[in-house]
Amino acid sequence: MLDSIIPLLSDPAAWAALVTLIVMEVVLGIDNLIFISILSNKLPEHQRQKVRRIGIGLALVMRLALLSIIAWLVGLVQPVFTVMGNEFSWKDLILIAGGLFLVWKATKEIHHSVDPEPSPGQDVLDKKDVMIANAGAAIFQIILLDIVFSIDSILTAVGMTEHLPIMVVAVLVAVTVMLLAADPLANFINKNPSVVMLALGFLLMIGMVLIADGFGYHVPKGYIYAAMAFSAGVEALNMLGRRSASKKEKAELARAEADAAEARARKAEAEAAAERG
């Protein structure tokens, strides 16, 4: 193993591949992290961090496991059957299934958010009193999406470099970034309700992209993340606007209270002066 690593340390091309792959893996991990954050925020507060760490830990385990069977994984891109002239591989079927699951989950959560009177028992994750079932259901759904995102991540790595040590380092760095960003991202989403809808919209779009990829219609990742960045920028401006309006409203309220207090003081002084006179 060391014999294959040492030559890479002095190879500029290997370092360039490592940096590029780390960036790519971190970007791909954002999708995974958004889903984990939204799902964990549906749980009781004392379980959220634990479930997030379990989900990210499972993502790391699955990625490393897939790297260990990389020869088999590459075989997943071989066609297994043809429908109306379109060839489908196991990778395509996994992407389609994962995309459908994401679309279903995001649609259900959006419906739950906009429905003024949600029906009781619609979703096991909405039952705040069923602690163990909630955590188990959340982890199960995270596992399903971890499988999809892990396969997509590792196949991307295979397409960018042939050196296994570079892939392992990139995956470890990317998952470490996910672990560090998980709690701040989840707390930010939880404290800003409008961001929840934006994140669900991202998940809906990612699901559609996975389905399109499964059917052979590749959507450049740059377009997807540019759209996500633009939407996040617009939402950031909206948040700044709301915060500014809130500060202005509080300042006006404080000013009104101060004026009222001053008026009461003047009235009291006037009454006292009248009594003395």
Model confidence pLDDT, tens digit, residues 220-240: 777 777 887 888 888 889 888
Q: Residue 257 is which amino acid?
A: E
For 146-221, where are the E strands, in sequence order? none
Q: What is the mean pLDDT of the chain?
A: 77
Give the tens place of pLDDT for each residue, 7-51.
666 667 777 777 877 777 777 777 778 888 888 887 888 888 888
Q: Taking Cα atoms as reference points, which of 45, 40, 43 lies closest to residue 128?
A: 43
Provide the residue count of the chain. Answer: 277
243: region left, alpha or beta (phi > 0 left; psi from -120 to 50 alpha): alpha
- Angstrom distance (rounded) from CA 111 to CA 103: 12
- Angstrom distance (rounded) from CA 244 to CA 163: 51
Helix (H, G, I), strand (E, B) or coil at 237: helix
